[in-house]
Chain A
Amino acid sequence: MPTFKVFRYDPDKNDPPYFQDYEVPDHKGMTVLEALYYILENLDPTLAFRSSCRMGVCGSCAMHIDGQYGLACETQVAALGNKITIRPLAHMTVIRDMVVDLDPFFAQYEAIKPYLIPKNAPGPREYAQTPRERKKLDILVDCILCASCYGSCPVVGTDEKYLGPHALLKALRFIDDSRDGQTNERLAFVANDSGIFRCHTIFNCQQVCPKDLDPTGAIGKLKMKSLWAKLTGKLKSSG
């Protein structure tokens, strides 16, 4: 029977954060999320955590599980040891237990304008795209915004203005979209002092992504694209 060492914090009490142990009877195929629900329903109804789809699609249950960021609903208890430490995502204010304030995460996401800004005004038909043009986006569109990459990124932890791997991956998704008309504006935005050049290429974001996406690679591509745009005169120094 594995013991879950769970991070606890209640802002309504004056107690500092602490860890609480729970013994959870496991079974074949049990996920960490199931274990947390077991604790909530049988051992401690005050435990707080986010979850929704239970199938790795919504990204709500991202947390720090035994030394690795990931989705609780996709992490098998059997793959971990007998003592499993659960913490909330890092770099964000803890609201309660595993629930963190995601406002800065989404503020940075919104800052890169995560929507299509077409080259031309809408016409009578949809914006056409060839299968080849669409294929370029395959590796970029699957982000579920779980914030695992954000929690694992040490630059996010030290520089609150850094855009973060999630926003930069999404920026490339629109820069690489043949229908988008704001390529240079987007490149200029992400190539600022709090953008792509703050990334140290540590690969944490790539390692923890539950969807096997490659934010580090996306940031690398953005660096090369912005450099090329600068060298070809599409970006001009602001002084």
Chain B
Amino acid sequence: MAVKISSQSMWTWMFQRLSGLFLGFFLVTHLNVHHLFHDITSAGLISFETVRTNLASSGFWKVYYFLFVPFIVFHALNGLWAIIADYRMPGTLSILIKTAFWIFAAALIITGFFTLKNLF
């Protein structure tokens, strides 16, 4: 018979690691594709238009960057929450901070998605 468990900390722990792996993979791919294979910075080609054309060249990048936004927001804010949670605080303050984090996360993701929408 399955035993009951409060699993929220387990999932946040797991997604922190998964998002970390994704971000590591993202950084390596981003640097390789945009700076080693197509070096747009040293060639003096860096501009909104060149970056936009480069990114819009394939649907892959669209998916890639739309995934990047929620992953990095989760990874950063969850990591920050893990530090804050180390300090003892009353339940109401904890709920207030968590709510502020959710609002901040939503604002960051919406801003990120709007920026990407204009880019593609």
Closest to B12 in A: A197
Distance between B5 CB and nearest chain A CB, rounded to angstroms: 4
- CB-based contact B10/A227 at 8 Å: yes
**Which of A5-13, A23-31, A37-45, A155-163 is found at the contact surface with chain B?**
A155-163
A2 within 8 Å of B by Cβ?
no
Distance between B24 CB and nearest chain A CB, rounded to angstroms: 17
**Which of B29-37, B51-59, B82-90 is found at the contact surface with chain A?**
B82-90
A-side contacts of B7, CB under 8 Å: 191, 230, 235, 237-238
Q: Write the A103-118 contact mask toward B (1 if CB under 8 angstroms, else 0).
A: 0000000000000000
| Docked complex Cα distance between A192 and B8 (Å) | 8
Q: Write the A194-232 contact mask toward B (1 if CB under 8 angstroms, else 0).
A: 010110100000000000000000000001001100100
B-side contacts of A234, CB under 8 Å: 2-3
A75 within 8 Å of B by Cβ?
no
- CB-based contact A158/B87 at 8 Å: yes
**A155 with B2: in contact, given A191-B7, A230-B10, A237-B7 (CB under 8 Å)?**
no
| Docked complex Cα distance between A160 and B87 (Å) | 10
- CB-based contact A193/B9 at 8 Å: yes
A181 within 8 Å of B by Cβ?
no
| Docked complex Cα distance between A187 and B4 (Å) | 10
- CB-based contact B2/A233 at 8 Å: yes
B81 within 8 Å of A by Cβ?
no
> Considering only CB atoms and an 8 Å cut-off, how many residues of chain A contact the other chain?
26
B92 within 8 Å of A by Cβ?
no
B-side contacts of A235, CB under 8 Å: 2-5, 7
- CB-based contact A192/B6 at 8 Å: yes
| Docked complex Cα distance between A195 and B9 (Å) | 9
- Choose from A184, A193, A197, A227 the contact partner of B3 (Cβ within 8 Å): A184
Distance between A204 CB and nearest chain B CB, rounded to angstroms: 14
B13 within 8 Å of A by Cβ?
yes
- A185-B3, A191-B5 given; name 20 further pairs at CB < 8 Å: A154-B86, A158-B86, A158-B88, A187-B3, A191-B6, A192-B6, A192-B9, A193-B6, A197-B10, A198-B85, A200-B82, A226-B5, A227-B14, A230-B5, A235-B4, A235-B5, A236-B2, A238-B5, A238-B6, A238-B7
The 4 closest A-B pairs by CB, nearest first: A197-B9, A236-B2, A238-B4, A188-B5
Q: List 24 A-B contacts (CB under 8 A).
A: A154-B86, A155-B86, A158-B88, A159-B86, A185-B3, A187-B5, A191-B5, A191-B7, A197-B10, A223-B10, A223-B13, A226-B5, A226-B10, A230-B7, A230-B10, A233-B2, A234-B3, A235-B7, A236-B2, A236-B5, A237-B6, A237-B7, A238-B4, A238-B6
- What residues make up the interface of A, taking CB atoms closer than 8 Å to B? 154-155, 158-160, 184-185, 187-188, 191-193, 195, 197-198, 200, 223, 226-227, 230, 233-238
